[in-house]
Structure formats: C-alpha cells, structure tokens
Amino acid sequence: MNYVFIILIVGSLIIGIFNGTLNEVTNSMLEACNVAVKIAFSLIGIMAFWLGIMRIAEKSGLVKLLAKILEPIAKLLFKDRGNNEHVTGDIAMSVAANALGLTNAATPIGLKVMKELQEDNPDKDSATDSMCMFLGMNTAGFQIIPATVLAVLVGAGAKNPTDIILPTLIVTTFAFLTAILTALILKKVWRKHG
C-alpha cells in the first residue's frame, strides 16, 4: 500500500511539473492534509464518546441484560458455541458496537468471540458453524447509528451529515439478515455435500 501512495504522490508531482501546475498540486496536498487532521480529530471525539457509552453499558449491566434478551436467538444461531457463558455477552457487545457504528470497538470484541469459539472447537483446523455465522454477522455490520461515518462527514464539513442514517439502517439491516440467511443455507448445503 505504501508503494501505491508513493506512486500517486510522485506521479502527481511529475504531472504538476510538466503541466506547470506544481503550485496547485502542492496546495491541494497541503489542503487535503489539513482536512485529514480535522476529520481525525472529529473521529477522536465521537469514538471516545461512544466507547465511553459502551463501557458504561458494560459496567451498568446493560450488556448482561442484552445478552439475556439475545440468549434465545443466540441458542438458535450459535448451536455449537459450547458451554462458555461469556460468548453470548461478547456477541451482544460486538453486535451493539457495530449497531452504534463503532467498527473499531467491534473488531477486538469480535476477535475475542472467535477465540472463545475456537476454544470449544473440536476440529482446530476448521471453523465451526457458530464461527462462520458470527463472521458473517460481524462482517455485515448492522448499524443503527453510523457514528464513524457521521464523524467523517462532520469533519469534512457536510451540511446534513445525519441524512445517511436511514439509508445506512436499511442497507445494513438487509446485509445483516442476508449474512445470517446465507450462513444458515450454506451450513445445510455443506453438511449435505460434505
């Protein structure tokens, strides 16, 4: 990836020299760096806020409550999850982090879930049905509040950054349900042919 950026930067400078627009190229680069810093700072604020909310939810027992609510669904979707009682809570945390648009927070939680599911996996060289289901759900990334995208839009100076909330909710809900359905179908197909 570094090579791609080097090629883009050097290529822009060379084209700017030949076209006589080197000043515009360097000004655009500096302006883009300025916008990137503004976006990064807006991301820091919103990420700190939502990560704090997630920590409060965890400490207050809201995550345990969410895990209890999700328990019947988790039993249906994650039948081979073993006897680890923390897995359901961690799955609930991951879904909640994705729902709030905190993909950066959902990643370490998702890795923890996969590690816990792997501990109960009898065949360490193959993924279990639960691991495949969770991977599909986590990758689809259902979002109620796309916090990271909102922060980027605010940092970039968008006039109505909240206009993306409804379309994001529709698309991520469809992707989430499609991931679950696909995992269920492929589980049956794989068993039949495997």
Q: Are 43 and 154 in contact (CB under 8 A)?
A: no
Secondary structure (DSSP) of the chain: -HHHHHHHHHHHHHHHHHHT-HHHHHHHHHHHHHHHHHHHHHHHHHHHHHHHHHHHHHHHTHHHHHHHHHHHHHHHH-TT-TT-THHHHHHHHHHHHHHTT-HHHHHHHHHHHHHHHHHT-S-TTS--HHHHHHHHHHHH---SS-HHHHHHHHHTT-S-GGGGHHHHHHHHHHHHHHHHHHHHHHHHHHHHH-
Q: What is the pLDDT of residues 124-172, one digit of tens each?
A: 888 888 899 999 998 888 888 787 788 788 877 888 988 998 998 999 9
Considering its fold, how many domains does the chain have in total? 1
- pLDDT tens-digit profile of 80-133? 766 666 787 788 778 877 877 777 777 888 888 899 888 888 888 888 888 999
Q: What is the mean pLDDT of residues 46-66?
A: 77
**pLDDT at res. 173:** 92
- Quick one: CA dihedral 138, 108, 96, 156, positive or negative? negative
Do 101 and 89 contact (CB within 8 A), yes or no? no
pLDDT for 194: 55
Residue 193 has pLDDT above 70, yes or no: no
The pLDDT value given to residue 83: 63
Query: In this predicted structure, what is the pLDDT of residue 145?
Result: 79
Domain that holds residue 74: 2-193
- Average of pLDDT values for 22-41? 84
Averaged pLDDT, 17-44:
84
